Amino acid sequence: MKLTKQNILNLEYKNNPDKLLGMGCATYYTDMFLKVLIKEFDFFNRFKNSKLTKEGIVKKFKIKDRPANVFLPILVKKGFLDVKDNKYFLTDFSKEFLLSSSKKYFADFIIHATSYIIENQLYNNIKSIMKSDKPVYSTKNGDWIKNMKANKDFAQTFTRALDERGLFLANSLVKKINLKNYKRMVDIGGSSGIYSCFISTYFPNLNIDILEISSVVPQTKKLIKERGFSNKINVISGDMFNYNYNQEYDVHFYSNVLHDWNKKDVKKLLKRSYNNLPKNGIVVIHDGHKDIKNNPMSLLENDISLLMITPGRYYFEHEIFDILKEIGFKAIKKKEVFSGRSLIFGKK
Ligand SMILES: C[S@@+](CC[C@H](N)C(=O)[O-])C[C@H]1O[C@@H](n2cnc3c(N)ncnc32)[C@H](O)[C@@H]1O
């Protein structure tokens, strides 16, 4: 489908592609965490009847904080752990099947079944991340961002992939946002520009600049032109960590960008936005924002990819709220978009 203003306005979905959102990333990796936890950490036997916070789990099992933030929601989702008042505990299911003291113990089957042998490399990658927190691919091929900068083919394929996902999410997001009273938006790490195209269609008074790295810019420019948005959307090459926004934008939009970075860098980016927004300007963050307990599987599957190949992860909603508050943003609020993705707003 050629994306035009007209068919953006008429776009309708008959089916829900949620299961495809996870699949692009790591659909079947979720079970491998269980195997690693049982085999490498004797996780359930050592957990037994305790009630532990995430910090307590990190300390007790000597697992790094970032992987813990990724696998705990998976274990809760799969019914191996439950959580109340931020304390995790074994479910009846785990007590029945995953404690070696139980007559119905099942864990030898889990860890010695063939998938462990077939997927040996995956097993070892997960094991290494739990203990070291180093993204797996960083040493061999360069991390994905180095790859994006150095390899034009990779940058193109990746941007195309995000464009397909973006069509669905942008279509949902644009109906949850009101930018009527704003003048100029910067779409930071805007990739193919798909979100900007939707936002421009619904808010034609807004002028938009997309800020991207130089290897992505030619493709973004081409798509913006083909899609008929050149008069409203401009594409700039620059680095979001040191770009001078000059207080020119009253909306800073980050879609699926913060999850690529560690918490220190997330704070740096948001602080930079705060300092560069005019009074009453807003930051709009579209991303996967996890809940402590209820998350769609497709989001948790994506989270594994982030853990494996970036220094980031999906942050919990409360973590982003805390960072925004700490920086000085006001009127912080969240709106659900789809499949665990949501919009978080903050005003200067
Ligand atoms: C995960 S993608 C998200 C793309 C798009 N916003 C979306 O929601 O699908 C992150 C984007 O950030 C861009 N990016 C990474 N580092 C950047 C930097 N330092 N400055 C500007 N853009 C950057 C990448 O090229 C990539 O397109």
> Atom 13 of ligand 1 has which residue's CA nearest to it?
189
The answer, as to whether pTM is greater than 0.85, is yes
Q: Which residues neighbour 295 within 8 Å (Cβ) at sequence distance 6 or greater?
A: 73, 77, 340
In this prediction, residue 319 carries a pLDDT of: 98
In this structure, are residues 322 and 253 in contact, taking their beta carbons and an 8 Å threshold? no
Q: Residue 13's closest CA among 169, 162, 163?
A: 169
As given in the structure block, the two tokens for residue 194 are 């798909």
In this prediction, residue 24 carries a pLDDT of: 67
In this prediction, residue 56 has a pLDDT band, given cuts at 50, 70 and 90, of: very high
Mean pLDDT of 260-284: 97
Q: What spacing in Å lies between the alpha carbon of 140 and ligand 1's midpoint?
A: 22
Atom of ligand 1 nearest to the CA of 254: 6
What are 125-163's pLDDT values in tens digits? 899 999 999 887 655 556 778 888 888 888 898 899 899
In this prediction, residue 193 carries a pLDDT of: 97
What are 72-90's pLDDT values in tens digits? 999 999 999 999 999 999 9
Mean pLDDT of 100-113: 89
- Round the CA-based radius of gyration of the chain to a whole number and report it: 21
Q: Which mutation among 257, 260, 303 tests ligand 1's pocket best, with the greatest number of atoms within 8 A of CB?
A: 257
Which of 52-61, 123-132, 170-179 is least confident?
123-132
What are 287-321's pLDDT values in tens digits? 999 999 999 998 998 999 899 889 999 999 999 99
Give me the chain's average pLDDT, please.
Answer: 92
As given in the structure block, the two tokens for residue 250 are 């009253």
Q: Which residues pair with 187 in a beta bridge?
A: 210, 253
The CA distance from 261 to 80, in Å, is 29
Atom of ligand 1 nearest to the CA of 169: 8
In this prediction, residue 120 has a pLDDT band, given cuts at 50, 70 and 90, of: confident
In this prediction, residue 139 carries a pLDDT of: 52
pLDDT of residue 3 exceeding 70: yes
In this prediction, residue 348 carries a pLDDT of: 98
φ, ψ for residue 240, nearest 5 deg? -60, -15
Q: Which mutation among 21, 191, 214 tests ligand 1's pocket best, with the greatest number of atoms within 8 A of CB?
A: 191
| CB-count burial class (<10 Å; 0-12, 13-18, 19+) for 333 | exposed
Please work out whether the CB of residue 240 comes within 6 Å of at least one atom of ligand 1.
Answer: yes
In this prediction, residue 71 carries a pLDDT of: 96
Mean pLDDT of 36-50: 96
In the three-class reduction of DSSP (H, G, I as helix; E, B as strand; rest coil), residue 74 is classed as helix
Q: Which residues pair with 81 in a beta bridge?
A: 90
Q: How far lies 247's CA from each of 2, 158, 189, 279, 286, in Å?
A: 35, 31, 18, 9, 21
Check residues 123 and 113 and name the one with the higher pLDDT: 123
The CA distance from 121 to 124, in Å, is 5
In this prediction, residue 64 carries a pLDDT of: 97
The CA distance from 210 to 190, in Å, is 5
In this prediction, residue 138 carries a pLDDT of: 54
